Amino acid sequence: MNIIDSKRIWLSSPHMGGTEQDFVNEAFRTNWVAPLGPNVDGFEKDLETYLENDANVAALSSGTGALHLGLIMLGVSHGDEVLCQSMTFAASANPIVYLGAKPIFVDSERDTWNICPEQLEIAIKDRIAKGKKPKAIVAVHLYGMPYNVEAVHQVAKEYKIPVLEDSAEALGSTYHGIKCGTFGDLAILSFNGNKIITTSGGGALVTKNEEQKKRAIFLSTQARDNAPHYEHSEIGYNYRMSNITAGIGRGQMQVLDKHVSYRRRNFEFYKEHLSDSSEIKFLEEPNGMFSNRWLSCIETTSYKLREAIRGALAKENIESRPLWKPMHLQSVFTECDAYLNGVSEDLFERGLCLPSGSNLEEDDLQRVVSVIKNVLR
Ligand SMILES: *Cc1c(COP(=O)(O)O)cnc(C)c1O
């Protein structure tokens, strides 16, 4: 097929449900064109209802901003150490550095591709032995697969270290029936353009109570004290979500569960058509885990095969991408210590994310599968 003739198939593109524009129009009609208003309140309520478990949600301008505020609220500051899953997007780790703290990276486990509870405990013991107890743990539900909540939180509890749960990729995923985004002492969500639902750009901090939510909103709106003039006794940030983008979010919440089912359908389709090959492996859901399958990923048998598949897909105008490059391999973090078992490096070498949007059609999936089958032949 000629690249010009074939429709581009994206890895994960925005997918509107239909009512988003109505909420945005209403914001214009009523002149709520500001970082507050009925859509912001409504979107927060929708998320709180969806997440259950008494979740309190502060809508913010990005998931990265939410991580930044989350670390501040957990007391992380200059000179602290924060343990962070190595296999993740850089935004999980960057806010640690914003605060003058030091990320210490922890490798993944095979079963979930997320932070390994054993390596986590080894890291904590070693940091304490070296004289500094880590201030927080950033654990990530990568690609929508929950991390091993029970084991990770047991280690965290034993050493009394708070967990900042990075649920940017896992809205709609559950662990033993409980929604991801409600496990950490604080948790974050992302509504970037490529995520399971989008507000074009946006995020949220999920807190355990109303007081923490108010604190997050206070910090995200320039930390303005209660006075007629502008009075400040703390450093503030400009991280609040806009009432326009929140309108998109309200529309997206109406189709969230449908989007999860479409993403899971993508995964099942790939698995059904590719798993008879011994050269391709899929990550199964461990007992009690339900993944939103934000991205459908495969493990190939070698770097060479992975690159052959990626190249063949690119030639057919199909976007695919190697799995997240671990943070301990990133040149920006070469100074940081890491506790490693080889899993994340191995996954990075052989793994590939396939087109996974909730707006893909069966023809698109069929095109992806036939290109891959051609390479395997
Ligand atoms: C997308 C993402 C973020 C950052 O969210 P933004 O809204 O893009 O700032 C953080 N962590 C992970 C794992 C992500 O995938």
Among the options 102, 179, 195, 213, which is catalytic?
Answer: 195
Tokens of 78: 């200059």
Ligand 1 close to Cβ of residue 73 (< 6 A): no
Residue 258: active-site member: no
- The string of pLDDT tens digits covering residues 92-150 is 999 999 999 999 999 999 999 999 999 999 999 999 999 999 999 999 999 999 999 99
Q: How far is the CA of 81 from the centre of ligand 1 (A)?
A: 21
d(CA 91, CA 189): 12
Q: What is the mean pLDDT of residues 283-301?
A: 98
Amino acid letter for position 292: N
Q: How far is the CA of 325 from the centre of ligand 1 (A)?
A: 14
Ligand 1 close to Cβ of residue 88 (< 6 A): yes
pLDDT-based confidence at residue 266 (cuts at 50, 70, 90): very high
- The string of pLDDT tens digits covering residues 213-224 is 999 999 999 999
- The string of pLDDT tens digits covering residues 317-363 is 999 999 999 999 999 999 999 999 999 999 999 999 999 999 999 99
The residue to mutate among 145, 169, 189, having the most atoms of ligand 1 within 8 angstroms of its beta carbon, is 169
Could you give the domains of the chain? 20-253 (3.40.640.10), 256-376 (3.90.1150.10)
Ligand 1 close to Cβ of residue 192 (< 6 A): yes
What 92-96 contacts at long range (C-beta under 8 Å, 24+ apart), as own/partner pairs, is: 92/67, 92/138, 92/140, 92/166, 92/168, 92/327, 93/138, 93/327, 93/333, 94/64, 94/67, 95/64, 95/67, 95/68, 95/70, 95/71, 96/71, 96/138
Evaluate whether 112 touches 289 at the Cβ level (below 8 Å).
yes
pLDDT over 90 at 253, yes or no: yes
pLDDT-based confidence at residue 6 (cuts at 50, 70, 90): confident
Ligand 1 close to Cβ of residue 299 (< 6 A): no
Q: Which residue has the higher pLDDT, 1 or 239?
A: 239
H/E run at residue 59: strand 56-60
If we measure between CA atoms, which residue out of 364, 193, 171 comes closest to residue 257?
Answer: 171
